[in-house]
Amino acid sequence: MLATPIYIICSPSPQVGKTLIARLVSEFLVLTNGTALSFDVNLREPSLLDYLPRITETADVIDTYGKVQLIDPLIVHDGLAKVIDLGFHAFDEFFKTCEEIRFMKETVRHYVVPIILFVAGTDRMSWRSYEMLRRQTPPGALVTVHNEFVLRGALPDIMDDGRVLRIPALPTFLRAYIDRLSFSFTGYLRNEKDWSTELHQWIRGNYTLLRDLEMSAQIRRSY
């Protein structure tokens, strides 16, 4: 049986498109695996729970109880892929807790593979947080997400040296279209028969990137 993947979508910066990435990952997992379990750790609306209520639970890291409720299911090898949409307000506390309990080592012991998708921002906090994660996570587990709609131009050199997932920018009118609460990426692929549309190509391209990412994570875990 393949290791159970955990996708942690995170950034210390607000408004970098983190929930968009969490939606893409969650819908991709449901399409490929039939189901997934997502955790919404956000303060602002709309959030992942609003887009995918059937597979999403709310969570927090405010106190010990909340941390246990969030982290305990993550180290269970049950074959159910999990996604965390980690709000910027919870970034420091979540990874501080992970370091204290040696979360990364526990995932190895329980046959779970973490995939940290760090959505890059333009501020100094983003750079410092990336440095912290690079020291804390095992080789290959940290992936920088370059959301070109938010971060135009090149990534900082330190982030561009590692593995990068590049999400192409969409025109503003298409971005507004996919931001609707009723919009589904997979639903669009199934219902739109014209494969040449820009949005169709964008979704398929991102799903392909996620497929390759998951395959490489499983290969990394096998070693």
Residue 133's domain comprises 4-222
Q: What is the tens place of the pLDDT at every residue in 99-141? A: 999 999 999 899 999 999 999 987 888 989 999 999 988 878 9
Looking up tokens 């090898």, which residue turns up? 77
CB atoms within 10 A of CB 57: 15
Whole-number pLDDT of residue 91: 96
Quote the number of domains for the chain. Answer: 1
Using only C-alpha atoms, the chain has a radius of gyration, in whole angstroms, of: 17
CA atoms within 13 A on the CB side of 97: 18
Whole-number pLDDT of residue 223: 52
Using a CB cutoff of 8 Å and minimum separation of 24, what contacts does 182-189 make?
183/51, 184/27, 185/23, 185/24, 185/27, 185/28, 186/27, 186/28, 186/30, 186/31
Whole-number pLDDT of residue 123: 83
Whole-number pLDDT of residue 220: 62
Round to whole Å and give the CA distance between 184 and 193.
Answer: 15
pLDDT tier for residue 23 given thresholds of 50, 70 and 90: very high
Whole-number pLDDT of residue 153: 81
Q: What is the tens place of the pLDDT at every residue in 76-94? A: 999 999 999 999 999 999 9
In this structure, what CATH number is given to the domain that contains residue 9? 3.40.50.300
